Chains A and B, each alone.
Chain A
């Protein structure tokens, strides 16, 4: 099988590699570029852990081939912090304990980043709708939603119990 040169921008930096067509974008980021912040859970587009932004839009990097990303502008979780300082979303998630084991966190952060660009002030229902494609096996959804509310400028204190 022939190989293809892939040139793209990742987190503002031009990167390149040479891949077989079957290489997924997720494996390209992790194995070829050493960016292991993007996590692979299910590898078939269900769990959302591998979500990255492709030209500003959220995408499952396990459902995209690296060759399809030629020329694209990719943002991964490694691109969120600035010189080691967490960005406001990361800070808000930190303060809300918006993760437990952390495996799903990169996917959540990228999906939330896309949500907040499109809708800087989402309500709880909109947040749950936007995050419905990201699975957290620690069942930490409440604190994740609180983290988004905090990032969106709501006070972020836990809501009243609903039951």
Chain B
């Protein structure tokens, strides 16, 4: 349970960090908050030759509002985001999701960018990013900056579109439209554990009807997924319990969640159905209150 040997650098600028990643090649890894990477090292499931610590790079550590977008630096600690007024105002779903991540002692070190780049299919932030159509900005020394849509970012089990020489630098989230409500709920074996299944939903109402409904699920696939059947069923519908139940049940039919010792595939499908129904309902309620 001790990490294997590795080398370490602590650059103070992004340029320096990008050069280090290039220099040390594919066996080098960026180190963000370490709340996922350090246990992987201790279990020796990861054996990087070199860690590039991003904590000293101040340009990755701020939250700013830019042209209707909330822009969160990749190294912003989850606990800091949780306490930030702009996050509550401009990205309520993110504010609702943050307290569900691990425990306070994990969130005080864990970072927004680290969780996204780690891409655990059971984690909250990838699903939130997907639901909110977040834009993830990555940078490399040779190819400069590029913006990756959340829908294109998560490519598989713990795998993302990031290249070995790239660093995720910021996440851009558009502020929600008027009369929009959101909710996130999950079921875990123990409080603070990774959830077996989670659902994040957003509902926008117009003239009392659902103008836009979205839902993203964790724990039902190797990446976070949108339940598009449910979204299509709800568009234009009245926000009733029956409509939410039908949408959830229909969408759950096409899910084939993985099974493990915490729960069978059919149990996870059941959880997804219930959580979609609940989060749709709560999101619609909040949309009404926001009107």
A residues adjacent to B (C-beta < 8 A) = 1-2, 4, 20-22, 24, 27, 43-45, 48, 51, 54, 57-60, 62-65, 67-68, 70, 111, 114-115, 129-130, 132-133
Residues in B71-119 with C-beta less than 8 Å from chain A: 79, 102-106, 108-109
B191 with A63: CB separation less than 8 A: no
- B109 contact from A43, A48, A63, A133, Cβ within 8 A: A63
Q: Determine chain A's interface SS by DSSP, over half rule.
A: mixed
B39 with A45: CB separation less than 8 A: yes
Question: Inside 8 A of A22's CB, which chain B residues have their CB?
Answer: 2-6, 41
B7 with A67: CB separation less than 8 A: no
Interface centre among B7, B43, B104 (most CB of A within 10 A): B104
Q: B192 at the A/B interface (Cβ < 8 Å)?
A: yes
Interface size on B, residues (CB 8 A): 31
Q: B53 at the A/B interface (Cβ < 8 Å)?
A: yes
B8 with A24: CB separation less than 8 A: no
CB distance from B45 to the nearest CB of A (A): 10
Cα separation A44 to B46 with both chains bound (whole Å): 13
- A58 contact from B10, B53, B105, Cβ within 8 A: B105
Q: B60 at the A/B interface (Cβ < 8 Å)?
A: no
Interface string of B1-30 (1 = CB under 8 A from A): 111111110100000000000000000000
Question: Inside 8 A of B190's CB, which chain A residues have their CB?
Answer: 132
Question: Inside 8 A of B109's CB, which chain A residues have their CB?
Answer: 54, 57, 59-60, 63-64
Interface centre among B3, B4, B53 (most CB of A within 10 A): B3
Cα separation A130 to B35 with both chains bound (whole Å): 18
